[in-house]
Structure formats: structure tokens, C-alpha cells
Structure 1
Amino acid sequence: MNKPSSRALRSASAQTSSRTSSQSPSQPDSGFSYTREFFEGLVDHALAHAKKLGASDAGADASEGCGLSVNVRKGELETVERNRDKSLGVTVYLGHRRGNASTSDFSAAAVERTVQAAFDIARFTAEDPVAGLPDEADIAPADSHRDLQLFHPWSVTSEEAARLALACESAAFKTHRRITNSEGAGVSAQQSHFFSAHTRGFRGGYASSRHSISVAPIASLPGRNGEMQRDAWYSSMRSAQDLATPEAVGRYAAQRALSRLGARKIPTTQCPVLFESPLAAGLLGGFVQAISGGALYRKSSYLVDSLGKQVFADHIDLIEDPFILGGKGSAPYDDEGVRVARRQVVEAGRVQGYFLSSYSARKLGMKTTGNAGGSHNLVLSSRLTQPGDDLDAMLKKLGTGLFVIELMGQGVNYVTGDYSRGASGFWVENGQIAHPVHEITIAGNLRDMLRGIVAMGADAYTHGAKTVGSILVERMKVAGS
């Protein structure tokens, strides 16, 4: 029985090839058309015009992004896309009235028209007592703006990107003769930079990049009425040098598709459920959404007033760290220019802090946590995890139950915490995979699920800006045949 292993997952995430160099955003081979100095002048012009019109406060940010995406399928080139976009956004305050406008035209006349539009919107907008720029005391000082190594431009050509994508798909096909089709493979190289400033004293900006390689192979089993199973895998990093090799991504995606052949339904039951680490990151994302400012002040979260209360099992901790070098969620300050800090969000299962912007913090009568724009790098851990708790060890802890590797649908109600998702994975008996399963639904309530985490694997995987191992939930409802 083929099954996704923690060792293969780490291999597909970590095998690398050297394909990058670091450039500053002002250098022409960074791929940008505009320098930081140009953006500073653009933003300063917007702010000066806003003050001239009579704004009490104003902010502006200029940005540019560019990239290349190449897709292949069944050994042939399908698409080559190049993207380039630019924007200037302006926010104007007249007391507690706010107006916003944007443009992609960087001419002086267009900048002034955009500022005028934002000013006019503010004039006719109702007052909001908590609207406004961040307090000056919360602004990140210029000497705290760290270089977090977020920018690694990849000057890959479309021909080189196509060769990498073809190699990835080819590796999937070569894994086994039962890999008979493919939804394609792709390579993407993206980079951007911005400069932002506002009248409370913030000035800053930086460049960042994100590159990826992906493939989605299809396995077939002719003896079972032409059964076909699809799976996919990808590697995404700020530096192309850190991407998994195309061959590693292709082989692992193929192994995942092969492992799903012979899937069957199971009877409706209640049992322990083990979430594969990439899916466990989704559970963490749901928790973050539930304790974020917008959901809290609107009372649209099942975790309203949860500060200091037990939400997870008492062996669970959650750290937020914005300063991880090259991290997907790293930033020297948040989207408002507010200082950020490493902090403990959950300690021994208890919530120690929310995710708040200046606006949501004021609505709640609290202080901003530097999370305008979202959370930063999150690491969920268990005090019970041992170094040897790989995926095989977690299956043994599961005993008899369901190991989930794919979720479908959006069946999560963040007001009540009710959770119901379509799922696929494997039925496990006595710590060993018995057979793949599909066409099932798992259901529960997020309150019970988070409190019911009995173990977390040492197979930690970074999915976006969230690092978490596989999660074993004590009991859930499984609807089958």
C-alpha cells in the first residue's frame, strides 16, 4: 500500500537546486520598472496635495508587481503568462471621516485627481469615531525596520520555466505506469515592492518575492471500472534556491495519487481523526480567523471574549514571530506601519492575545497587536510531542480511525463553530493503513475539536505562514455509506 509518508513530505519540501541571486529593488535586473526613490516622490506628492486640500491626516502607498507563469500538460507547453501591475492608493481623513481612492496612472495630474477623489469621498462619508491612522506611539521607528531577506528575484526565462515544469510532470509519469494522465504542471516567479507613508510619521517599504512549482497527476486502475484518482503537490518559497527539485515534487504528487487508488466508502461512525499536517494548518487558520479583530467586534465569532480562556487542549502553545528570515509571514511592521513583535498567542491552551489592527482594537477598546493585514509566521506546538513522533508514530497513536489527507467544501460556521467538510483519506486499523476512503463527511464543532487535540506530530510542515505537525483529534462524526 502506497501512503504519503512524513519522510517523503519533507523530501518533497526540502530538496533544492541553485537558481537564484539577491537583488535590490533599484537594480534593473530585479525586473522592476520603478525605483524606491520614484515611489517615495510619488507618495510625498500625494500627501502634500492632501494637506493642501485640508486633510487632517493622510496616507499613501505605491506598489509594483511583476512575474512569469508557465503551464504545461502531458509533455506540451500550454500557457506562458507575464504579469505587470502598479498602483497608488491614497487614504484621506477629515477628522473621523475617511475616503480612499487609487490609480494606476503615475502622472502628477493623475496623482492629484486621485487625492481629490479620496478627499471628496471623505467629505460625504459618515463619521466613524474610531476611524483614523495609528497612534504615533504605535508606529515602528525607522531604526527598527529590519532586513528580513524577503526579496530573492528569479530571472528565469519562459524556456527555462517550461523545462522545469516538464521535468516535474515527467517525474510524476515515470513514478508508476498507473500515472496515466495529468492536469498539468506549472512554474511561477513573482516579485513586488512598495513604499508607504502617512502623516503620523511612518515611512517605509520593501521588496518581496514568491516562487513556486506544482503538478497534479492522475492515477488510474483499469480493473475497477476505470477508477481514477487525482492528487497534487507544490513547493513555494521566497527564494527559488529553496524550492524542492521538480523531480521531488513530481514523484511525491504521483505517490499521493497512487495511494488513493482502490478507495471505498465506510459506514457512518464516530472515531478519532488524524489531520495530515497541511490540513492541520487549515485548522489553525480557522482559529486565527475566529480571534481576529473584524470577527470579534462584529460578534461573528464563536471565540468572542475568549482572552485568557481555555480554547485548545492544555498541552498546546502558539507563537507568532514576524522576524523569521525569509518567512512567508515575515514583516518588519504591519500594513499600517505599526511595530510588530514576537509573542505567545496561546499558552497551555489559553488565549493570550488577539489579532488586531488599529481600527479593530479601538472598536474593542484594546491596543493594536500589529496585525493590520493579517497574522505573521505562526508555529503551533504540543508539549507532548517527542522527536520520534513522525507520521507512522501518529498513525499508531490514532489506532483505529480516519487519517484525512484532503478536505472539500466550505462547511465551517465561525459564529457557532460548527464544522462539516467533505473528506478523503485512509481508514486505519491497529495503527496501520487498511485502505483508502472517499465520499465521506467529517463533522464536529471547533470548540470540541481544538479542546480535543490529543497529540501533534513532529512531522511539522510549513504551509504558507503556518507551521504545524499532523493533529490527532480525539473524536469526530464520520458520515459514510
Structure 2
Amino acid sequence: MSLDEKPLLDRVASLVEAAKRAGADAADAVVMRSRSSSVSVRLGKVEGTESAESDDMSLRVFVGRRVASVSATRSSDPAALAERAVAMAKVSPEDPYQSLAEPERLARDIADLDLIDSMEVPAERLTEDALAAEEAALAVPGVTNSSGAGASAGSGGLVLATSHGFVGQYSATRFGRSASVIAGEGTKMERDYDYSSRLHFADLETPEKIGRTAGERAVKRLNPRRVKTGVFPVVYDPRVARGIAGHIASAVNGAAVARKTSFLRDMMGKQVASSGVTVTDDPFRRRGQNSRPFDGEGVAGKRLAPVEKGILTAWFLSTSTARELGLETNGRGVRASSSVNPSATNFAIEPGETPPEDMIASIKNGFYVTELFGHGVDLVTGDYSRGASGFWIENGVIAYPVSEITIASNLKDMFLRMTPASDLDRNYGIAAPTLLIDEMTVAGE
């Protein structure tokens, strides 16, 4: 525990004690911490520097089935704050689902997940890294301009105390590098990017690799063509396949199920994807982007497989959402100021056995997607329609770039037609390998 976290633990504990003295049946207090610094550059010059820090503190109290929350600061008087929160709760409508997590579900042993890097990265190093990434990108033949590069360092965490006796905290560091450049001239320009984000500074991709990859991607997109409308296999590059994983994560969120806004809400125990698809969510992965020893309610959670061999097996649940659905929390509660909602942790579509090169080689005519546009995804019905660009596959090889097309289907059909490749990179909070959807409508000319 760092020296400045002990006062915060004492602070949240004092707020909970004050709430109990003020007449609350139960209470919890939380601080969500954030520290960040970043540098952005363009064409060899620093365009901006930014530093930010915050400690968002709140107290939540329960009086019977009534609940109220108030924001707090380090200087707030605990007694006065607690009295105000309890008074608010007494006049609030009853909510039959709200409560603290059951005591037996609270984390007892706080796992060390290696989330903290003690390295201090000065602004000068962030500037050097951003400039190096941009320089490497501009050195790629065909790159004509820069959209900018950046580097960042920060940390965040949570301090929580409950009237059930739970007191705990965790923190994680995060570092990033990025570059975005333009290739071509006039009306034939194309833009692309690359980035790296890790919890430990030494795990980042080098600035030179990030810049070079951004430049090469932009150049490969030059002189795109249109293709004729038809039904073809569609291969999602891992960058955009993570969006498909995100749609699955949203569909298995218990809050969406309770609101009846998930197209999978009536599919528990049924086949929702091809038998080769397994989806996992693991809060305890070491150095995971979204790892945590306990959730926003103090529950430890566990590794889940919401989809196992194509069968839907679990929702993401917080205490209130679980109670609304007649189930039990699985430790997926996330604090959002005064509320707690379920969310994924380290979520991944597990890899298959086929290398992406072999997957592409098996396709006579198809589309390899590298970028998507628009928001044409309806998670209530599963309808899916997105603008896209990428590359055309011809006789098993990447033939030429394509743009200004639309791909469409329904997520229900896409999941059942989906095959994951073997190239999963777990260095993302939501991760996916290359994905093949064997049949989608591709709308072009």
C-alpha cells in the first residue's frame, strides 16, 4: 500500500461508520482514483501536453429497500454527509433489487495480479517516444503526412469499504503509444494507425515498430477499388474482430437481459454460436488490461465461459442485476459514480486451430475487413450493417484494397457462422483472433 492510499482507506471506513450512526441499515463508500499524463506531437513538434488527476468519492446508504448516494470530497464532514444521505434514502422509492453484496461473497484474499509498474515516466520520455513513433511512420515510402503521434502514462484504482466489514483497494498502471499517418496525395489519400497499451512500460511495443506499422498500413490502402454486390465470406482482422467480441459482451450483460435489450435474452442454455466458439472472461489474468482482485462491490468473482462450444452458459451479473433475474452475482459489478452495473473484465473469443493465412487461402472470393464505420448495430434485434474498408481476397490471396462498401447480416447468424483463427492476442481488455464469417452480404457497386 502506498503512503497516500492509507488515508483513503481510513476515509471510506469513516464514511461507512458515520452512515451506520446516522441510521443506515447498510452502506458502502468508494473512491475511484485516476492519474494520467500524455504528450501529443505532429510533424516533429509538440502539439499538446496534459496531466490530470481525480479522486471521485461517494457514499451509498440503504434504509430498508430504499437507497441513496451522495458525492464526497476529502474535506467533507462524514457525519453531515451521512445524515444527508440517510435523509435522502428515507424519501426515495423502494427498490427491491438494491443491496450490498452478501457477506459470504466478499473477497477474503486479495490476489496479487501484477498490475502495478513502479516506473515513473517523465514528460521528456513521453515526448521522445511520440516523436520516434512519428519519425518511423514518416520514413515509410509513400507516407506523405502525419495525423499525429502520442505517448501516455497513468494509473487508476478503487478503494472500497462496506458496512459488512470489507475494506480493500487495488490499483493498476497503464502506458500507451500511438501513431496515425496519411499516405498518398490529393483525393487519393488514405489514413491508418497503430497503437500499443500495456500495464507495464517494458511490455509496450517500441515507438519505431508502432510508427512503421502505421505507415505500412496506410500505404497498403492506397488506390482502393469498389467491388460488386454479392454474398461472400468475410474475414475480420483482429483489430475489428474485437468489435465483434464487444457485441457478444454487450449481449451477455445481465443488465441488458433484465431490460430486454439483448437479442440473446431468451437463449440461455441454447446454441448461439458455432461449436468452435468459446468465449471467456477472466478477472484474474496477470497483467490483464481489465484485471481486478474484486469488483465494485467487493466480490472476488471467478473465471467464466459465457459461451462454451457455442452454448450460452452465463450472464455478467452484479448483485442487483442478479437479484432482478433471480440469480446470484458472479462478481462483475463495476462502479459508475453512485451506481453499480455489470460489465466484462478480460473478455476474449478463444482461438481456434486454423492459422489466419490458411483461413484466407481457403477463400476463392471474399472480403478482409480492416476498418468499420458507422453505428449500424442493433443489439435488441441483432441486425448488423456497417460501412467498411479493407482488402479483397482472390484465389486465396490478398489481391487489392477496397473501400466504400457495406457489410450486412444479423449477429445471430454471424455467430453461428463464425470460425476463430489461431492468432489471439490477449493484450486487450476485449480480445479476439482473426474471425471468418462464412457468409455475409457485401454491398458495393
If the TM-score is normalised by the length of the shorter chain, which range does it land in? over 0.9
Is contact 2:22–2:79 with CA below 8 Å preserved after alignment? Answer: no
Secondary structure in 2 matching 1:175: coil
Matched residues in 1 for 2:57 and 2:324: separation? 28
Among candidates 210, 213, 237, match of residue 177 of structure 2: 213
Letter aligned with residue 479 of structure 1? A
Question: What is the CA deviation profile of residues 294-349 of structure 1, one whole-angstrom value per residue up to 9, with x for unaligned ones?
Answer: 10011111101221110010111122222111101211111111121123222210
Among candidates 58, 73, 89, match of residue 122 of structure 1: 89
Letter aligned with residue 280 of structure 1? A
Cα offset for 1:169? 0.1
Matched residues in 2 for 1:421 and 1:328: separation? 27
User: Hey, what does 2:194 align to over in structure 1?
Assistant: 233
Matched residues in 1 for 2:394 and 2:13: separation? 65
Letter aligned with residue 24 of structure 2? A
Q: Provide the aligned C-alpha RMSD in A.
A: 1.5
Among candidates 186, 189, 214, match of residue 153 of structure 2: 189
User: Hey, what does 1:156 align to over in structure 2?
Assistant: 121
1:7-46 equivalences under 5 Å are 25-26=2-3, 35-46=4-15
Among candidates 427, 437, 443, match of residue 392 of structure 2: 427
Cα offset for 1:382? 5.0
Matched residues in 2 for 1:459 and 1:131: separation? 42
Secondary structure in 1 matching 2:164: coil
Cα offset for 1:116? 3.5
Matched residues in 2 for 1:399 and 1:114: separation? 67
Matched residues in 2 for 1:193 and 1:358: separation? 21
1:401-480 equivalences under 5 Å are 401-453=366-418, 455-462=419-426, 464-480=428-444
User: Hey, what does 2:135 align to over in structure 1?
Assistant: 170
Matched residues in 1 for 2:107 and 2:125: separation? 41
Among candidates 279, 304, 321, match of residue 360 of structure 1: 321
Answering whether residue 224 of structure 2 is matched by residue 247 of structure 1, we say no
User: Hey, what does 1:31 align to over in structure 2?
Assistant: none
User: Hey, what does 2:362 align to over in structure 1?
Assistant: 397
TM normalised by structure 2 equals 0.95
Secondary structure in 2 matching 1:208: strand
Matched residues in 1 for 2:70 and 2:50: separation? 29
User: Hey, what does 1:66 align to over in structure 2?
Assistant: 35
What number of residue pairs does the alignment pair up? 437
Answering whether residue 116 of structure 2 is matched by residue 139 of structure 1, we say no
Among candidates 222, 242, 250, match of residue 281 of structure 1: 242
Is contact 1:36–1:194 with CA below 8 Å preserved after alignment? Answer: no
Cα offset for 1:201? 2.7
Question: What is the CA deviation profile of residues 119-165 of structure 1, one whole-angstrom value per residue up to 9, with x for unaligned ones?
Answer: 23312211011111111222122xx2101011114412212211110
Secondary structure in 2 matching 1:187: strand
User: Hey, what does 2:285 align to over in structure 1?
Assistant: 324
Among candidates 256, 270, 278, match of residue 217 of structure 2: 256
- Any stretches of 5+ residues in structure 2 without a counterpart? 335-342
* Amino-acid identity (%): 36
Cα offset for 1:197? 0.9
Answering whether residue 129 of structure 2 is matched by residue 179 of structure 1, we say no
